[in-house]
Chains A and B, each alone.
Chain A
Amino acid sequence: MRFLLALVPIAVILVLMVVFRWGAARAGAAGFLSALTVAVIFFGAGAQLLAYAQVKALLLTVDVLLIIWSAFLLYRTADEAGAISTIGAALPHLTADLGMQALIIGWAFASFLQGVGGFGVPVAVIAPILIGLGFSPMAAVVVPSVGHSWAVTFGSLGSSFQALMAATGLPAELLGPPAALFLGAACLFVGPMVAHVTGSWRSLRRLLLPALIIGLCMAVTQFLVVRAGLWNIGSFTAGLVGLLVSIPLARRFRGEARDNGQLDRRALLIAISGYAVMVGITLMVQLIPPFRNFLGQFVIRVNFPEVSTSLGYVTPAGPGRAIPLFRHAGAILTYSSIAAYLIYRRAGLYRPGAAGRILSSTIRKVMSSSVGIASMVAMASIMQHAGMTDTLARGLAEGMGRLFPLVAPWIGALGAFMTGSNTNSNVLFGGLQMRTAELLGYSVAIILAAQTAGGALGSVIAPTKVVVGASTAGMEGKEGDVMRHLLLYTGLLLVVISILTITGVWLLGGSG
């Protein structure tokens, strides 16, 4: 009975989003209200407990939103200058082979865009480009949707991964490598899938070798970058390496010559320089200790006392999420946005009033997702403090037993499907998965890697993302068809992650 009551807020979100097609902001708010009600009436949460849970939720919300806001600011700074379309337009110069174009634009470039932008940007930007290159509208949506899926967790400059760390309180050194490994394995399958979408099995056989080479380079790059502690540029660098590796491969698969106009190398260089600056600043902050320490001096840190419910569930005393304001990934992105703006302005790429348009479109775009994240983080925090997450974890541990590792990625995917975001899924289920893994004695790092990998892959079939993709490809009203196509590829990728998870927990047992 208590398990079912603890499940109510999650069920509310699921039903409202999937059955009634509510957005994440509305459903998240309904989830919060139901969590608050259940926590007070059935789990004995008092006023003080709710207050501290809410303040902790504020810290987590700020931690995640700083990245989301500034990542979109950087994307809009580049987009307003025409840098994104310049990079996209340069790619067809490499090859006229449709399958190879799909690999370069729909996979490597989509991963790169996910690295810097996210929030549905890869599909929204790439689908119209692919239609212009002669792809069917269905392929134009499915290719970038599948193509960027493996890059979601370390994309958007690491916002989903940041959310996982915030929700579990575990460090990047523990969570990063297994998550990068799982997503890297998915990447190896994504390339052949993209080739399959463009021309079925014949296309897959013809492009298998370049797909494996590009996939291996991107997967290894992401793993090494994440392992080096630069998780916020994991997908970005992997996408960049994928693009660089594609160039010599594309020359072998040129296809029939087509007139793609003149390639403006100077414009391309300027377009890329905005993002090169971001890599430079990130490396400076991560690798130069005096600079890193200087920026890390100002930290927002709040201490919380022990609180307990009237039923006796205790949350121990301790600090909330610490936010190093000037060294935060969000701050680094803001510095990068300012630097990119100055570069593009000096190159004369902006029309008058560009700064105002960048800021206003950024604020308008992020507001509804900010509401969704604020309410879902608060809901997760209340559930944790009231012992609801613990009740769910115990129920799952007893119900699933040794099969739990197989299910873990599907829970992550379910969270992303119903909330439309890997970030929200990690906030919603990160604590639950961690607690279940602890109860069953499985490696927490492996289970959380399965959570975030499942969330990344599952996010592409979320109704909110499918609607964005379908609308940009002129397929309004055919979202169900798009989802059916995506379900096959996403399901296969989730099976791969399930197998890796069960292998991982067998190899590692309860360590980490």
Chain B
Amino acid sequence: MINNLIKWLRSNKFEAYTIAFLLMILPCVPLYSAANAGQTLLIGLLISLIVLGNLVAILIR
């Protein structure tokens, strides 16, 4: 399954870059409210999404 995902990312570069970009950008909006409220768990979850976006970017060749 992971192999298929990597294959898809590499053969659909534009879509993969778009997904990576959105994952890097979109979580930042709720991140501000989560940081103000001190919700550590939610911050961890949102930063995980940003990390996922960066992992997607690494997988695109």
Q: Could you list which residues of chain A lie within 8 angstroms of chain B, going by C-beta atoms?
A: 25-26, 28-30, 32-33, 36, 47-48, 50-52, 54-55, 57-58, 61, 302, 364, 367-368, 370-371, 374-375, 378
Chain B CB within 10 Å — which of A29, A32, A370, A375 has the most? Answer: A29
CA distance A47 to B13 in the complex (A): 32
Q: In the complex, which residues of chain A have a beta carbon less than 8 angstroms from the beta carbon of B44?
A: 47
Identify B28's interface contact among A32, A36, A54, A364, CB under 8 A.
Answer: A54
Q: Are A26 and B47 touching (Cβ within 8 A)?
A: no
Q: How distant is the Cα of A58 from the Cα of B53 in the complex, in angstroms?
A: 14
Cβ contact within 8 Å between B51 and A47: no
Q: Does B8 contact A (CB under 8 A)?
A: no
| A-facing residues in B9-35 (Cβ within 8 Å) | 13-14, 17-18, 20-21, 24-25, 27-29, 31-32, 34-35
Check B35–A371 contact: CB distance below 8 A. Answer: no
Interchain CB contact under 8 A, A368 and B17: yes
Please report the C-alpha to C-alpha distance between residue A438 and residue B27 in the assembled complex, in whole angstroms.
Answer: 34
Given A47-B47, A367-B17: A25 in contact with B32 (beta carbons within 8 A): no
B5 in the interface (beta carbon within 8 A): no
- How many whole Å from B22's CB to the nearest CB in chain A? 10
User: Is there contact, CB below 8 Å, between B43 and A47?
Assistant: yes
Q: Which residues of B contact A51 (CB under 8 A)?
A: 31-32, 34-35, 43, 46-47
List A contacts of B25 (CB < 8 A): 58, 61, 374
User: What are 18 sample pairs from A and B whose C-beta atoms fall under 8 A apart?
Assistant: A25-B57, A25-B60, A26-B57, A26-B58, A28-B57, A29-B55, A33-B54, A48-B38, A48-B43, A50-B47, A51-B35, A51-B43, A54-B31, A54-B47, A55-B31, A55-B35, A368-B17, A371-B57
- Given A52-B35, A368-B13, A32–B47 Cβ distance below 8 Å? no
A370 to chain B: which residues have CB within 8 Å? 17, 21
Tell me which residues across on chain A come within 8 A of B55, comparing CB atoms.
29, 33
Beyond A36-B47, A48-B40, list 17 extra A-B contacts (CB 8 Å).
A26-B60, A33-B51, A33-B55, A33-B58, A36-B51, A47-B35, A48-B38, A50-B43, A50-B47, A51-B35, A51-B46, A54-B28, A54-B47, A367-B14, A367-B21, A371-B20, A371-B21
Kindly list the 9 A-B residue pairs having the minimum CB-CB distance in the complex, ordered from nearest: A51-B35, A29-B57, A29-B54, A58-B28, A367-B17, A47-B43, A374-B24, A55-B32, A51-B43
- Tell me how many residue pairs across A and B have CB atoms closer than 8 Å: 81
What DSSP secondary structure best describes chain B's contact surface? helix
Residues of A within 8 Å of B50, CB to CB, are 54, 378
**In whole angstroms, what is the CA distance A48 to B43 when docked?**
7
Contact of B54 with A32 in the complex, beta carbons under 8 Å: yes
- Name the prevailing secondary structure of the A interface residues: helix
B17 proximity list for chain A (CB < 8 A): 25, 367-368, 370-371
Closest-CB distance, B34 to chain A (whole angstroms): 6
Chain A residues, CB < 8 A from B43: 47-48, 50-51
Query: In the complex, how many angstroms separate the beta carbon of A512 from the nearest chain B beta carbon?
Result: 33
Residues from chain B with Cβ under 8 Å of A367 in the complex: 14, 17-18, 21
CB neighbours (8 Å) of B61 from chain A are 26
Docked Cα-Cα span, A55 to B17, in Å, equals 20
A340 to B13, CA, bound (A): 30
Closest to B41 in A: A47
The CA-CA distance from A370 to B53 in the complex, in Å, is 13
**Cβ of A375 and Cβ of B24 under 8 Å apart?**
yes
- Determine how close the nearest CB of chain B comes to the CB of A47; give it in whole angstroms: 4
CB–CB A57/B28 < 8 A:
yes
Q: Which chain A residue lies CB-closest to B32?
A: A55
Closest to B28 in A: A58
Report the nearest B residue to A369, measured CB to CB. Answer: B17
> Chain B residues with Cβ under 8 A from A28's Cβ?
57
Contacting residues, chain B, for A302 (C-beta < 8 A): 32
Per the bound structure, the CA–CA distance linking A61 and B40 in Å amounts to 24
Query: CB-nearest residue of chain B relative to A365?
Result: B14
Residue in A closest to B18 when the chains form the complex, CB atoms: A367
Residues on the B chain within 8 Å of A57, using CB: 28
Given A36-B51, A378-B50 in contact, is the A47-B24 Cβ separation under 8 Å? no
Query: How far is A36 from B48 in the complex, measured between Cα atoms in Å?
Result: 11
The smallest beta-carbon distance between A265 and chain B, in angstroms, is 40
- Selected contact of A375 from candidates B18, B32, B54, CB within 8 Å: B54
Q: Which residues of A contact B57 (CB under 8 A)?
A: 25-26, 28-29, 371, 375
A256 to B40, CA, bound (A): 74
**Nearest CB of A to B58, in Å:** 5
Nearest CB on B from A96, distance (A)? 43
Residue of A nearest to B31 (CB): A51
The chain B residue with its CB closest to the CB of A57 is B28
